[in-house]
Homo-oligomer: A and B are copies of this chain.
Amino acid sequence: MRPEWVDYNGHLRDAFYMLIFSLATDAFMDRIGLDDAGRASRGRSLFTLEAHINYLHEIKEGTAVRVEASVLAFDAKRVHLYMEMFADEGTEPIAASEQMLLHVDTTHGAKSAAFDADIAGRIEAMFRDAPKEARYAGRVIGLPSGPRAASASASASSGLSPA
């Protein structure tokens, strides 16, 4: 976590949680064989199609974080990755993100392509090892009763527990 990532509240700005998850996705790519060398020699890469993030706890400047990643699903060209971020030695996540990643052939522009067999094998191994629970996956963003006026119920609950 870097000083310039902090917002006016002294906390990590929302987008920089996403940057940490993005760097964790790079680590996932390294793990399955799509590191710098693998991307260059194969002419392949992963593109993020879609991402969802839940902000669960604030963190202050200087906090060390770690990310745990698992594969929730995959097909010939796509991986559904699930990640939870933890602060220091914490056991409760401070943020969670799920992402849909597309495998692309980058040799002529960028065109979706099937995973090479060895890469698919490593993804499948992670899928088999994935924990059964992905608490913040599959969510839809919305207010419980849909659009309504400000005079409506103020019983809004929140998952936010500021640190």
When the two chains form their complex, are residues B53 and A153 in contact, meaning their CB atoms are under 8 A apart? no
A44-81: which residues lie under 8 A (CB-CB) from chain B? 45, 47-55, 58, 72-78, 80
The smallest beta-carbon distance between A89 and chain B, in angstroms, is 23
Q: Contact at A50–B48, with CB atoms within 8 Å?
A: no
Q: Which residues of B contact A54 (CB under 8 A)?
A: 49-50
Q: Write the A144-163 contact mask toward B (1 if CB under 8 angstroms, else 0).
A: 00111111111010111010
By beta carbon, the residue of chain B nearest A71 is B147
Beyond known contacts A18-B18, A47-B58, A124-B149: 15 more, CB 8 A cutoff: A9-B45, A15-B16, A16-B19, A47-B160, A50-B52, A52-B52, A72-B147, A73-B142, A73-B143, A74-B148, A75-B143, A77-B154, A80-B143, A100-B141, A139-B140
Please list the 3 inter-chain residue pairs (A to B) with the smallest Cβ-Cβ separation, ordered nearest first.
A76-B154, A15-B19, A110-B162
Interface residues of chain A, those whose CB is within 8 Å of chain B, are: 8-9, 13-16, 18-19, 21-22, 25, 36, 39, 45, 47-55, 58, 72-78, 80, 98-100, 102, 104, 106, 109-112, 114-115, 120, 123-124, 127, 137-143, 146-154, 156, 158-160, 162
